[in-house]
Amino acid sequence: METKKVASVTKRIVLGKNKPTPILRFLCWFTIIWDIAIGIYMGATGVIFMIRGENFSENSMLKDFTQNFCFTYAALHGVSFLAAILMYRLKRNGFILYSIVNIGMVVSTFIFVESLRADYVQIAFTLIMIGLFATQLKKLS
């Protein structure tokens, strides 16, 4: 019973007391899960590069994935995770932070991965997610 109470208090502290609209809740949870998954993957890949000193040289598309790129991308996903939590808590600053960080992710990919041409899927996904969050901007304070 004590564990249940601690979990409830932790959830209220992290996610706040007020529940967002169902659409905003879905978008936030999708973003939180996505950011955790990609952040862990890129962080682990960076650690592997640090330990082994290797990269994806045999794959021409991924040969520019370096330790710096992996850690930068993982850190950006960490900030995007925090922005999603702020939006779940109905904070407008979360939307601004989310927009800046996700545009930064697209730009950083083009800076670090020189062999990459215009990745329209990543650009489209980023713009769609920012647009979906923008539709809920009136609910944020």
Over residues 83-129, the pLDDT tens digits come to 999 998 888 999 999 999 999 988 888 787 776 666 788 889 899 99
Residue 15 in domain: no
Q: How far apart are CA 138 and CA 31, in angstroms?
A: 19
User: Tokens 């409830």 map to which residue?
Assistant: 8
Residue 111 in domain: yes
- Contact, 55 vs 49, CB < 8 A? yes
Over residues 5-41, the pLDDT tens digits come to 766 666 666 666 778 889 998 999 999 999 999 999 9
Residue 51 in domain: yes
Q: What range does the domain containing 102 cover?
A: 23-58+66-139
Residue 11 in domain: no
- Contact, 35 vs 98, CB < 8 A? no
Q: How far apart are CA 106 and CA 104, in angstroms?
A: 5
User: Tokens 């370096």 map to which residue?
Assistant: 66
- Total-model pTM: 0.81
Over residues 35-57, the pLDDT tens digits come to 999 999 989 888 887 887 766 66
Residue 12 in domain: no
Residue 90 in domain: yes
* The pLDDT value given to residue 101: 95
